Amino acid sequence: MGASHTESLNLPSKACPSERQIFPPSPPDTDREYTDSVSEPSDTETQTLSFCGNPSTWKPPPYPLPPGPRSDNTILTEDLKTPDNHVVRDPRLIRLTGIHPFNVEAPLSSLYDEGFLTTKDLHYVRNHGAVPNVKDPEIMDWNFTIEGMVDNPIRMSLAQLLQEYEQVTYPVTLVCAGNRRKEQNVVRKTKGFSWGAAGLSTALWTGVPISDLIRASMPRRGARYVCFEGADKLPNGYYGTSIKLNWAMDAERGVMLAHKMNGETLPPDHGKPLRVVIPGQIGGRSVKWLKRIIITKGPSDNWYHIYDNRVLPTMIDPEMSADLPETWKDERYAIYDLNTNSATCYPAHNEEFLLDGSEHTYKIRGYAYAGGGKRITRAEITLDKGKTWMLANISYPEDLYRLAPEGETLFGGRIDISWRESSFCWCFWDLDVPISRLQASEDIMVRAMDEAMMAQPRDMYWSVLGMMNNPWFRVVIHKEGHKLRFEHPTQPALIPGGWMERVKKAGGNLSNGYWGEQLAGEADAVKPIEPAKEICMVNNTLNRIITLEEFKSHDGETEPWFVVNGEVYDGTGFLEGHPGGPTSITGAAGQDASEEFLAIHSENAKAMLVDYHIGTLDKISQALLADSEAAPAEDTAPRGVFLHHKTWTKAILSAKTSVSPDTKIFTFDLEHAKQAVGLPVGQHLTIRLRDPVTREAILRAYTPISSTGAKGKLDVLIKVYRDTPTQKGGRMTQALDSLPLGHFVDFKGPHGKFEYVGRGLCTVSGRERKVQRFVMVCGGSGITPIFAVLRAVLADREDPTLCVVLDGNRTEEDILCRAELDAMLAGNEHRYCLNYVLSQPSLSWTGGRGRVDKNLIAKEVGPRTSTGGGDMVLVCGPKPLEESVLSIFTDMGWGKDDMLFF
C-alpha cells in the first residue's frame, strides 16, 4: 500500500509531530485492564484499556493515546445569549460565522502541535444551527430508528446498542469539505464561509460498525442508499444526507455509529450522544445527533443533501446556480470521498527566522490526507515554483494501531485493524532544507500524491460552494534585513493577512496562473484598492459608562436607546425626522443595532450618530448583547401575525416567478397557512440575508405586492441588478436571486412613517391627514409602494380619493405590474388616471414618450386642488427621478409637507 510500514515506524517521534508521545506512565495493576490516566472518565462509565500481558513484563502500547483535554474550559461569554448556552468550549477556537451557529477551527500551529490525535478542545466544529441539549441522565435513553426499505424495522436505545453489539475503536481524521475555502473566497466569493487550513482533526472513535445494524434490519431488494437524519432542527428541516448502501456494508470503509470520542462520551458539539462516523469521506456525511437511518432506493431528498457539499462545474456562478434545481440534484456533483490535499504548518504564518548563523537548516513540516481509504504515498516540496522538486519524509502514526495485539480493546472497543488495508487518517511530512536555499527562494510549495497517483493540482478549481480546494499550498518567503518572514496564503474567517489578500489589494490577478504576480502588459490594467474611509460616530469628549440595567430601562417608544459597536445612542430626538419612520428607531430600542444600522445606512447617516451619542455600554453588557440571533424555543407557538418590528422572523423561499428579463416575484411561505403578514398599507418591511463569505448582514427595505388580507404567503416584486463589466450589481438582489428554493430569509417590520388608513385618511409620522387626491410618481420597481396604496384606494368603492399615476420606464418590458394597473381602470375611470411614459419606446408604442418632466406633470396633474392638504405626492423610484420630481413640484409651489418619498 504505497509507503512501507518501515518508513512509517522507524521514526516513532513523528507519530506526534509535536515530538511527544503520550503513553501510560506505569504498568497496570491487573493483567487485563487499567484506568486510562490520559483523559478523564466519562459521565457514564470508566474508560478502560484492555491488553494482553503480565504486569511484570508490561510495556506501553505501540500506538498514540489521546492527549489530555483542558480542564479549565467553560461556557463562554459569547454563547450565553445563544441556544448553545449549555456547551463548554475552548476560547482558542476561531469562530468562522460570527457568534452563532458555532463553526470553528483551531489555529493551525496549535492543531499541528497537539499531534496525531486532536483533543475535543481543538477539534474543528461544523454546526448548521443550535446544538441539541442532551442531559447526561438522558444519554442511555437516546433512541434512533432504522426504517425504510427494510423487512425488520428497528427502534433502539443507546443502552441497547452498547449491550447488544460489539464495539470497535479506531482513529479517523474528519475533514470539512470547505477546508482551505478562504483561498477560493479571496479569488472570487463563493456561497460558503471562510475556512482556513485547519478544517480537519483526528480522534479515536468508539462505536458499532453500521453494517451489523443494517444487516439486522434486513434491507429489501432494490435498496441502494442509506440516509441519515440528525436531531438538529434547522430552518430547512432536520440536517440529513446519505451514502451508498454498499459503502455502508463494506467493512473496509469502516462506517460506524460512534458514542465515544477519545474515550469520553461524545461532546455536545460532536454529536452527543450518537453520531455517524464515515472515514475517508467529507465531514458533512458524518451526521451528528443521529435519530433516523432510512434505507432507500435513491439518494436523500433532504434539503441539506441537495444544496450543500457539492462541487458544481466551475462555470456556474452564484447567480446562475439559483435557477438550476436539476443541477443541484445531480448526484454526479455530490461530494463523498475526500480529495488529496496537504498544507504547510511550519513555517507558520508570519513566523520569523533570524539569519544569525546558529542554524544551517530549517525543518519544513505539514500534514497531508487522501480520501476513500487511499494512502498518501509522497509529499513533494518545491522552492522554484515547480521547476524542481524534493521528496519529503512521511510518517503514518495510524500504522501504529495495526501493531495492537490480537483481541486488544481500547475504551471498550476492539482495535484490531491489522487486516484493514484502508487508511483513515492524516499523515505528516517534513523536510530539512538548507537556510541558504530558503534565502535564495521566493516561496515554498507542497503537493501530495495518493496511491492512485492522484496529485494535487497546481491551480485552483473554483466552484460556487468553494468545496474541496486543494491546489499546491504556497508559503511566501520575505527577506527583511537579517531575518526571513514567512506568509501563508490566507488566514481563516475575517482575520486579515496572507499573500493572497495582499496581492489582490494591490490589484493583482490571482487567477492568472502565476499566483497573482504581475505579467507583461498588466502594469497599467490594475489599480490598488483604496482603503475604506473611517467615519467617526462617537463624541470623544464623553466618558460615561452605561450599565445594562440602565440601558434596558430605555427599551420603549418614548426614549429609545440603542447600541452600535458598543456605544449607546439616544434616538429620542430623531423619532420624528427619521425617514423610515419612528418604528425604525423604536424597533431597535434596548438592542444591539450594530448589524442593522451599519448594513443599511449611508456615510452621512453614520456621521450624524455623533449628535445622539450618550456613552459607552460596559464590557460585560456588550458581550451579553452581542448575539442578536438567539433562536426562539422550538415549542414557541407561531404568532397570528408574521411581522414583528423588534424580532426577525423566518420565512421559506418557495417560488420565483419571472415577470420581466430582470424582475421576479419572490414568494415566501410564512410560519403557517393562516398567518397574516401584518403590514399596514403604505409601509414596508426589511429583508435580511447574510453574505455567504463574510457573514455580514445584507438588509434592504421592500414593499410586498401581496394583498392586504393575504395569509400564509408573502409576494415581493424585486428587480435584480446584476454585475456588469463596468459596475457592481445589487448585493441583496443578486443574493436573493442566487438563493435556492427552500431556503429561509429573515424579515422584520413594519416600518415607515406613512400609512393609508382608508377613504382619504392617512397618517404621516403618527399625525392624521385627509387627502383628496394622490399624485403617484414612480419608476421601475418603485411601483410597489405606489401599487399598495392605489390598490387599497380603488378596492373600496366608497373611497372618494382620486389617484393620478405617472409611471416612467425605459422600455415597455420594464413596466411592472402592468396587467394589474390596467385592470384597475375598469369602473374607476372617474377617480383613477394612469400614464405610462417610456424614455426608449419602440416604434409601435402609442403611450407617452420621454420622461416624467415638468410639462407632463403640469398637463396631467395641474394645480393643487386645495391649500388645506388636499393633495399629496407619493414618489418612489431611482434617485435621479426622485430628485427631478422634488425640483419640479417645488418650483410649482408645492411644499415639503405635500410630498412623501418612500
What residues are labeled active site? 176, 308-309
Pairing of strands 33-35, 48-50: antiparallel
Q: Is 176 annotated as a binding residue?
A: yes
Pairing of strands 773-779, 767-770: unpaired
Nearest partner of 400 among 378, 374, 418, 424, judged by Cα? 418
Q: Which residue has the cell 484499556?
A: 49
**DSSP secondary structure string for all residues of 662-681:** TEEEEEEE-SSTT-B----T
Most distant CA atoms of the chain, gap in Å: 109
Distance, CA of 471 to chain centre = 23
Strand order in the sheet with 545-546: 545-546, 613-617, 567-570, 561-564
The cell for 493 is 474567517
Q: How crowded is residue 363: how many other Cβ atoms within 10 Å of its Cβ? A: 12
The cell for 513 is 496562473
CA separation for the pair 888, 806 (Å, rounded) = 14
Q: Name residue 378's beta-bridge partners.
A: 449
Q: Mark out the alpha helices in 665-782 (DSSP H runs).
A: 731-738
Residues contacting 364, CB < 8 A, separation 6+: 344, 346, 347, 381, 392, 430, 431, 432, 433, 444, 446
CA separation for the pair 581, 557 (Å, rounded) = 12
φ and ψ at residue 454, rounded to 5 degrees = -90, 115
Q: Name residue 718's beta-bridge partners.
A: 664
CB 717 within 8 A of CB 549: no
CB 365 within 8 A of CB 346: yes
Q: How crowded is residue 601: how many other Cβ atoms within 10 Å of its Cβ? A: 16
CA separation for the pair 894, 889 (Å, rounded) = 5
Kindly report the CA angle at 73 between 70 and 75, in degrees rounded to 5?
160
Half-sphere exposure of 353 (CA within 13 A, CB side): 25
Q: Find the length of the chain.
A: 902
CA separation for the pair 479, 762 (Å, rounded) = 70
CB 722 within 8 A of CB 735: no
Residues 120, 126, 129, 132, Cα dihedral to 10°: -30
Indicate the annotated binding residues for Mo-molybdopterin: 176
